[in-house]
Structure 1
Amino acid sequence: MDVETALNDVCDRQYPVAFDTVVEECDEATVEFANGEAMPLSEILGVVDDEPEAFRSEAELEEFVTSLLPEDAVGRKGYDDRGSAATEADETSF
């Protein structure tokens, strides 16, 4: 499961939620990385030295967990499958 699915399906909480509550009650959640590897949410959160007191929203928790993932876990850096809009600098004048 990706981070969002792991938090929604296994760790469905009311917000705000304390960091300790997430660690204790979401220990069965496993996050699958873009490279195919997987890691338990409890292990991902286990690297935190300066624990936040609480998360105000699901988006805040998801962003926090994503920030802890290894660089190769989230896919290609800078990749955008939506294409890019042409900007003035991209245009060529003849």
Structure 2
Amino acid sequence: MSEDSVNSREQGIEFGSLAEELEDESYPLSHDDLLSRHGDRELELADSSTSLRDILGPENEQEYEDAESVRQAIFSMVGDDAVGRKGYSDRGGTATETDEEKTDESF
């Protein structure tokens, strides 16, 4: 198993082996061809899974230029289903002051 398939979670979506398959695909790729080849593939979200077909929908006239354009279409269509806890981010955040820093600034 390659490192890409091990680390295939992006923005709350687990792509699994679909990530590599999209990279290996021939582009440009029509929406219909994408769904006929990969539409039944399941993507894992925070609390559920759904097929690529359900995420992107059957009626789309888009043509995909590369694997990144497919991922971006998925990110824009998946909505809140990929979000685990609302208001929480595992992408880091701002540093907070420690008690010692607060004390130092008080003097």
Which residue in 2 is equivalent to 1:27? 39
Higher relative contact order (CA 8 A, sep 6+): 1
1:68 is aligned, of 62, 77, 102, to: 77
CA contact (8 A) 1:4 1:62 kept: no
Matched residues in 2 for 1:3 and 1:22: separation?
A: 18
Structure 2 stretches lacking a partner, 5+ long: 1-7, 97-101
Alignment-mate amino acid for residue 73 of structure 1? A
Which residue in 2 is equivalent to 1:89? none
CA contact (8 A) 1:3 1:66 kept: no
Matched residues in 2 for 1:3 and 1:54: separation?
A: 23
1:38 aligns with 2:49: yes
* Alignment coverage as a number of residue pairs: 86
1:81 aligns with 2:91: yes
Identity %: 26
CA 1:3–1:55: 2 relative to 1, 3 Å: farther
Structure 1 stretches lacking a partner, 5+ long: 87-91
CA contact (8 A) 2:56 2:73 kept: no
1:5 aligns with 2:55: no
1:16 aligns with 2:28: yes
* Secondary structure of 2:53 counterpart: helix
TM-score (structure 2 length as normaliser)? 0.59
CA 1:54–1:84: 2 relative to 1, 3 Å: same
